[in-house]
Amino acid sequence: MTRIIAIANQKGGVGKTTTSVNLAASLCAMKRRVLLVDLDPQGNATMGSGVDKRSLEATVYHVLLGEKKIREVRVSSPTGQFDLVPANRELAGAEVELVDLPERETRLRDALAEALSQIREALTEVAEDYDFVLLDCPPALSLLTLNGLCAADSVLIPMQCEYYALEGLSDLVQTIKRVRAHLNPKLEIEGLLRTMFDPRNTLAQQVAAQLQQHFGDKLYRTVIP
């Protein structure tokens, strides 16, 4: 069964996109079939996957507005061996246009469900299906992030152990709870990944201890320096 994971944190610069691209490549190295969906108008996951965002004719923008199917816009990453639904700055206008559309919070979920269903029905078990779909969300609690949370089974949260980290994490957790209560009852926290972690830093150790206390096994033992 395909597992859909949103990589999200409303704070920028925490290694979210780096985590998304490297996780996609690592899963492919483990012979898993992966689709990475870039939901950030900056298009960093697209560029990080080796795709020139300036040359794109169709992106996730067209999927969200219902103009294209995922199978029509996905491309293969020349560097990571995974499939990619790319994004560019055109996506920034999608939030304005989504506001007036019906079911604006679930456009991505519906598109993914349709695409995955069609793939399963049309192809054999060994053909192109996905074990994992990774959603690289923008650094904001926006309609684009909301679409990602509504489409996902779980949320992976990269974060730095710094002064304001817990406050931002609290906001994200509350958003996840609201999405679970009203839009996506299956949504859960996949785990918390400490990035740019310096074990010599006292504050980082204190924040890590609080994360361990509140989230227990959800806090990954692996840390990214």
The dihedral region occupied by 66, where left means phi > 0, alpha psi between -120 and 50, and beta the remainder, is left
Residue 128, SS3 per DSSP: coil
Strands (E), the chain: 3-7, 34-38, 75-76, 83-85, 132-136, 154-159, 188-194, 219-223
101 phi and psi angles, rounded to 5 deg: -95, 145
Q: What's the pLDDT score for residue 121?
A: 40
pLDDT by residue for the chain (225 residues), tens only, comes to 789 999 999 888 899 999 999 999 999 999 999 999 999 999 999 999 999 999 999 999 999 888 988 888 999 999 878 999 999 999 988 878 887 888 888 888 888 877 655 443 433 332 357 899 999 999 998 889 999 999 999 999 999 998 888 888 999 999 999 999 998 999 999 999 999 999 999 999 999 999 999 999 999 999 999
pTM of the model: 0.90
Question: What is the second-level CATH architecture of the domain 3-223?
Answer: 3-Layer(aba) Sandwich (3.40)
Q: What's the pLDDT score for residue 118?
A: 45
Question: Domains of the chain: which residue ranges?
Answer: 3-223
Between strands 75-76 and 132-136, the pairing is: unpaired
Checking 70-79 for CB contacts under 8 A at 24+ apart, the result is 70/35, 70/111, 70/112, 70/114, 70/115, 71/115, 71/118, 71/119, 74/35, 75/51, 77/24, 77/36, 77/49, 77/50, 77/51, 78/50, 78/51, 79/25, 79/49, 79/50
